[in-house]
Structure 1
Amino acid sequence: MESIERQRVHFIAVGGSAMHNLAIALHDKNLIVTGSDDEIYEPSKSRLQNRGILPQEIGWFPDKLDNTIDAVILGMHARPDNPELQRAKELGLPVYSYPEYIYQQSVDKQRIVIAGSHGKTTITSMILHVLKHFNRKFDYLVGAQIEGFETMVKLSEDAPIIVIEGDEYLSSPIDRRPKFLHYKHHIGLVSGIAWDHINVYPTFEDYVRQFDLFADSTPKGGTLVYDETDDLVAVICRKEREDVFSQEYATHKHKIADGQTYLVTEHGDVPVQVFGEHNMRNLNGARMVLSRIGISDKQFYEAIQTFRGAANRLEIVAKNNSTVIFKDFAHAPSKLEATTKAVKEQFPNRQLVACMELHTFSSLNKEFLKQYKDTFNTAEESIVYYSPKTLAHKKMPELTENDVRTAFNNKNLIVFTENEALQKFLLQKNWQNKNLLLMSSGNYNGLDLKQLSSQILNN
């Protein structure tokens, strides 16, 4: 019997969060995986090393590429003039962006794509959790670590469906289309639209247009699920599209009793571990999608009770009887507002100290900063941290503390530019009957949040 020759795949910029997960998924699928990068940090480094696919040397090595390579996958971290990319072109090797390759691997599957400026990771995670609960076969791609899932990507030969978190960011350094257009969804969901990625979409109209294209790409016989409470989403998704089934959702009916959120359903009150208006919408969106692939409401309510959220999405870092410390990925105006409101509504009798790091290109842009106006007024104490070093690293103009206070339109806003000063401020507080919410897509320039949380509770 002839042995089937194993495919060889090479990753340019293998150390990225999404890229290293795809590399692991293909390795686990028995493909021969190689890769290069000019920087690889944890946890990517250890995870690649454990599979035996960590590059032996850091840097770019064009001689790694030859005619035995079946596919080259190009990560966003690489530059258009990358020497390995140039070599791949010289050899005429097929070069794919990350989303293009995912599509190639799932061309024969039913593709479910979750899009939106906010909520897409949580909705995708909820869908995966429920499918796993009922032992359904499925492949997936999600942008965060989820409890019960070893990797953020899974690709197999036999799964009939794939659930994909669809990002609107660029596909690769040489492909400026948004990732989610490559996946060619059969079932698409749009959770919300709020301007982001100003470095790629310099105007609000540019940004919104991408979601219009996503909705328009729903095929005949396909399904478009959308949040009807978001005015922009509703305008885009209510547009007449021939032979497309559209289904709207809103906030799931719920109640809060003694710090516990319950879904109010025809099957009785269902306790859940996630909370906040935004998560009640996320949960309802997930329910709608799952209903299209054979999961009944009763099954959904059974499974969702054990969903504890995706990593860094209102994740509890530490707690005691009088204080809970959360960390959250919130790094844009709509996410900041929704997350602070969620914690305050869940714990109305506790004071909330909320701290947000300005870290992304958009958030550190003086013009975009105006989008934060009146979004940070729910907490009793609102703190903004940013690092002048990050601005310098991104080659961006300086920001003053006054610029930040003016943009947020909050005269009581506390601003820090040094993480030691922020840490000292938090450690000196009396935390009796107070909660702390730490929001960032970064790490406060290396602040150890677990250690800080432990010190706060011990004080």
Structure 2
Amino acid sequence: MNIHFIAIGGSAMHNLALALNHKGDTITGSDDVIFEPSKTRLAEKNLLPEVFGWFPEKITNAIDVVILGMHAKADNPELLKAQELGLPIYSYPEFLYEQSKNKTRVVIGGSHGKTTITSMILHVLKYHGREVDYMVGAQLDGFERMVHLTEENDFIVLEGDEYLSSPIDRRPKFHLYKPNIALISGIAWDHINVFPSFENYVEQFQIFVDSIVKGGSITYNQDDENVCKVVQASENAIRKLAYTVPQYSVENGETLLETPEGLMPIEVFGAHNLSNLSGAKWICQNMGVDEDDFYEAIATFKGASKRLEKIAESATCVVFKDFAHSPSKVAATTKAVKEQYPERKLIALLELHTYSSFNPEFIKLYNGALNAADMPIVFYLPESVAIKKLAPVSEAQIRTAFQREDLNIFTTSDELQKFVNGQSLDHTVLLLMSSGTYGGLDLKALKERVEA
């Protein structure tokens, strides 16, 4: 097929473009700006637009399908031309569903943990040589792309994001997949710019559970009260399979998982990641992987990119970078690191970066999120708040929200860099949490300092 991408440079969009190019389709695309690594990866396959911008003359009747990304606007000139010509226009999730209508669809949903669980499943399947189609929200070791599509594979594993599908389709992505096998890891209010109330947010997961194909299954985290309510309230004719945190222990900085064959050392740690592992095990078993094979494979899983990723280590210091930004994930990640390294000083740095994190009501949910840290730090840039056209956030608001008298707050990149450089990292764990860049904090120099 001839497929044109409007906003080809996005993380998900460019991976789908690469997957379809690999599959043999003819790909074209446009975007007004493309950042790395998308830019280089598209260029390597000759898919990078020669000129950035929107060009309606690219849209002709020779195009079989248009795929519309969230970065585009509803009045995009190329979209308007495609609508005028009556071309088939799909959102990213709509197209994935069209490609997988005849496959068994495995969809992993949840406010947090879905990338890690999807990554664990794919790691186990690859370890045992089981070929599946997939879409995951992080780059994984051993996987060339974040999306893989074929004609022949029986299963497709999809990370089920609850964010909107496209500028002209305001449904959450995971409503469109119609899973045969599904999982929900947790529900904690997110994307408040789209879902204005917690009740409205929870409703999206109710719709997701009800969209599961009759006779299918929902695997769910029984330790999450909101998840339990949603699953138990559903009258959909599906199997309901609960999971919980498995038994484990931590000895000398190593996590040991209890298995039928005895204690097994694993690379990931923290109760939230052990819960993710438990959910992944049930899904893999539903896909035909037996328990022993799951444990053999998961012992070698090191984590998804940016999810508790170890970026530097010496005999006396470890530095982790994590994508955590929602209150529940920040709390879980901070607690996990402290549990893994109880004898070390934990410096936890959180950058407030998302739209939600600057909302006066939402910010109150951070109460206690950094309690496990010995030295809590919050960094944000007032100009980021202004760019999002939100009311200014004061340091007093943040201090009240986190309920830590000893909270360090920084509002300029220079102040933060100076503070980090001035800290002794001896017998320390430094945990960096953000979906942003920490104001351009020099992570390369930090790594060199730690490993010198």
TM over 0.5: yes
Partner of 2:328 in structure 1? 334
User: CA offset at residue 242 of structure 1?
Assistant: 4.8
1:239 aligns to 2:244 (yes or no): no
User: CA offset at residue 227 of structure 1?
Assistant: 0.1
**Per-residue displacement from partner, 1:392-445 (whole Å, max 9, x unpaired)?**
221222111111111112221110011121111111111110110000001113
1:160 aligns to 2:172 (yes or no): no
User: CA offset at residue 238 of structure 1?
Assistant: 2.0
State how far apart, in whole Å, the 1-side matches of 2:401 and 2:439 are. Answer: 23
Partner of 1:186 in structure 2? 180
List aligned pairs for 1:37-48, cutoff 5 A: 37-48=31-42
List aligned pairs for 1:178-327, cutoff 5 A: 178-239=172-233, 241-327=235-321
Match of 1:237, SS state, is: helix
**Per-residue displacement from partner, 1:310-359 (whole Å, max 9, x unpaired)?**
00000011000010000000010011000000000000000100000000
Partner of 1:358 in structure 2? 352
8 A Cα contact 2:184 2:221, kept in partner: yes
State how far apart, in whole Å, the 2-side matches of 1:457 and 1:270 are. Answer: 29
1:22 aligns to 2:16 (yes or no): yes
State how far apart, in whole Å, the 2-side matches of 1:375 and 1:325 are. Answer: 19
Partner of 1:3 in structure 2? none
User: CA offset at residue 456 of structure 1?
Assistant: 4.6
1:420/1:457 CA distance change after superposition, 3 Å = farther
Q: Which moved more, 1:447-456 or 1:247-256?
A: 447-456
Q: Which moved more, 1:147-156 or 1:393-402?
A: 393-402
State how far apart, in whole Å, the 2-side matches of 1:207 and 1:368 are. Answer: 13
State how far apart, in whole Å, the 2-side matches of 1:389 and 1:35 are. Answer: 32
* Matched residue type, 1:116: G
* Matched residue type, 2:381: S
1:210/1:240 CA distance change after superposition, 3 Å = closer
Identity value in percent:
54
State how far apart, in whole Å, the 2-side matches of 1:419 and 1:109 are. Answer: 48
List aligned pairs for 1:52-131, cutoff 5 A: 52-131=46-125
State how far apart, in whole Å, the 1-side matches of 2:136 and 2:153 are. Answer: 16
**Per-residue displacement from partner, 1:260-318 (whole Å, max 9, x unpaired)?**
11110111111110000000000000000111111111000000011000000000110
User: CA offset at residue 453 of structure 1?
Assistant: 3.0
8 A Cα contact 2:209 2:236, kept in partner: no
Match of 2:29, SS state, is: strand
State how far apart, in whole Å, the 2-side matches of 1:352 and 1:182 are. Answer: 42
Match of 1:445, SS state, is: helix
Q: Which moved more, 1:398-407 or 1:224-233?
A: 398-407
8 A Cα contact 2:108 2:114, kept in partner: yes
Match of 1:363, SS state, is: helix
Partner of 1:343 in structure 2? 337
8 A Cα contact 1:317 1:450, kept in partner: no
User: CA offset at residue 241 of structure 1?
Assistant: 3.1
TM-score (norm 2): 0.99
Partner of 1:8 in structure 2? 2
Match of 2:423, SS state, is: coil
State how far apart, in whole Å, the 2-side matches of 1:365 and 1:232 are. Answer: 22
Partner of 2:431 in structure 1? 437
Match of 1:114, SS state, is: strand
Equivalent residues, number? 452
8 A Cα contact 2:219 2:243, kept in partner: yes
State how far apart, in whole Å, the 1-side matches of 2:442 and 2:153 are. Answer: 40
Any stretches of 5+ residues in structure 2 without a counterpart? none
User: CA offset at residue 363 of structure 1?
Assistant: 0.6
Q: CA RMSD in A?
A: 1.0
User: CA offset at residue 161 of structure 1?
Assistant: 0.2
8 A Cα contact 1:193 1:233, kept in partner: yes
State how far apart, in whole Å, the 2-side matches of 1:417 and 1:243 are. Answer: 52
1:431/1:37 CA distance change after superposition, 3 Å = same
8 A Cα contact 1:405 1:413, kept in partner: yes
Match of 2:358, SS state, is: coil
8 A Cα contact 2:317 2:450, kept in partner: no
Match of 1:84, SS state, is: helix
State how far apart, in whole Å, the 2-side matches of 1:408 and 1:205 are. Answer: 24
**Per-residue displacement from partner, 1:129-188 (whole Å, max 9, x unpaired)?**
000011111000000011111110000111100000000000001111100011110001
- Name which of 142, 147, 153 aligns with 1:148: 142
* Matched residue type, 1:39: V
State how far apart, in whole Å, the 2-side matches of 1:322 and 1:402 are. Answer: 34
User: CA offset at residue 240 of structure 1?
Assistant: 5.2
State how far apart, in whole Å, the 2-side matches of 1:241 and 1:304 are. Answer: 34
1:455 aligns to 2:449 (yes or no): yes
8 A Cα contact 1:318 1:450, kept in partner: no
8 A Cα contact 1:427 1:456, kept in partner: no
Partner of 1:415 in structure 2? 409
* Matched residue type, 1:300: F
* Matched residue type, 1:82: N
8 A Cα contact 1:112 1:162, kept in partner: yes
User: CA offset at residue 217 of structure 1?
Assistant: 1.4
**Per-residue displacement from partner, 1:14-36 (whole Å, max 9, x unpaired)?**
11000000000001011010111
State how far apart, in whole Å, the 2-side matches of 1:219 and 1:264 are. Answer: 34
1:398 aligns to 2:360 (yes or no): no
* Matched residue type, 2:34: I
8 A Cα contact 1:423 1:452, kept in partner: no
TM-score (norm 1): 0.97
8 A Cα contact 2:314 2:450, kept in partner: no
State how far apart, in whole Å, the 1-side matches of 2:235 and 2:143 are. Answer: 36
Match of 2:233, SS state, is: coil
State how far apart, in whole Å, the 1-side matches of 2:444 and 2:142 are. Answer: 22
Match of 1:248, SS state, is: strand
